[in-house]
Amino acid sequence: MANLQELKAKILADGSIDDAEVAVLRKEIYADGEVDKDEVVFLAELRSQAASVCEAFEVFFFEAVKKNVLTDGSIDAEEAAWLRTALYADGKIDDREKQFLRDLKAGAKSTSPEFQALCKECLGS
């Protein structure tokens, strides 16, 4: 895999993430068929540092995070804490992030009290 920090600098050079850059990211992140913790942290940093992102990036971001978080079928306290930080990076929870939490909740075999509290806070349930 390419050096993630070099890739981040290249992608964020113009402040936005476009469809062509999403194709590059998709190829790099899924090169080994897995999405590891470093890769989801990298994607979250890209998302929070970009002035704007295209729709394809949003779809890819949530897909990759979901694949990583649900690898073992459960959402533990550490994952819940990371999700809270990543989702609140801009200080608010938008509709897409709410839907993402619903999808995670539905896809998880088990969830920690910390994840349940995050869902209650963001979704009211």
- Structural domain boundaries of the chain? 1-69, 73-125
Share of the chain above pLDDT 90, in %: 91
Q: Are 64 and 40 in contact (CB under 8 A)?
A: yes
pLDDT tier, 61 (very low <50, low <70, confident <90, very high otherwise)? very high
Average pLDDT over residues 22-31: 95
Residue 48 has a pLDDT of 92
* C-alpha–C-alpha distance, residues 60 and 57, integer Å: 5
Q: Which helix (H) or strand (E) holds 55?
A: helix 55-69
Q: Indicate the average pLDDT of the chain.
A: 94
DSSP string, 65-100: HHHHHTTTSEE-HHHHHHHHHHHTTTSS--HHHHHH
pTM (2 decimals)?
Answer: 0.91
Average pLDDT over residues 96-113: 97
pLDDT tier, 125 (very low <50, low <70, confident <90, very high otherwise)? low
* C-alpha–C-alpha distance, residues 28 and 1, integer Å: 6
